[in-house]
Amino acid sequence: MSQETIFSKIIRREIPATIVYEDDEVLGFKDIAPKAPVHVLFIPKNQIIPTLDDLRAEQAPLIGRLALAAAAYAREQGLAEDGYRIVMNCREHAGQTVFHIHMHLLAGAVLGDFGV
């Protein structure tokens, strides 16, 4: 990994996290400041890509793996029938605070509209 982030430390189990999903390429853990009853972050384990803007064409399948992991978790937890939201923020104005791309899964309540 090229850049150190707090997520790097979670991947290496150097700081605690409530891990709810893991495969060879993706780690899912509960957000420490949840914005919904269910708020899980899905991150790539083997690459640090700071923002979605930094993603290269050959890395695009990684986004699909994050989405598939989030969907699998939602189905496993019984969230898919009522619905869930997945979100990726890009840079500060969009709300990105950790510069290691990640996907938020939000569920467990009626989420309504979002944005300004």
Q: Which residues are identified as catalytic?
A: 102
The fold for domain 6-107 equals: HIT family, subunit A (3.30.428)
Backbone φ/ψ region at 78: left (φ over 0), alpha (ψ -120 to 50), beta:
left
Residue ranges with strand state E in the chain: 19-22, 26-30, 38-44, 84-87, 103-107
Which tokens go with 99?
A: 């510069």
* Pairwise CA distance, residues 26 & 46, whole Å: 8
Q: What is the 3-state secondary structure (H, E, C) of 21-82?
A: EECCCEEEEECCCCCCCEEEEEEECCCCCCCHHHCCHHHHHHHHHHHHHHHHHHHHCCCCCC
Is pTM beyond 0.85 here? yes
Domain map (residue ranges) of the chain: 6-107
In a structure prediction context, what are the per-residue pLDDT tens digits for the chain, which is 116 residues long?
458 899 999 999 999 999 999 999 999 999 999 999 999 999 999 999 999 999 999 999 999 999 999 999 999 999 999 999 999 999 999 999 999 999 999 999 999 887 65
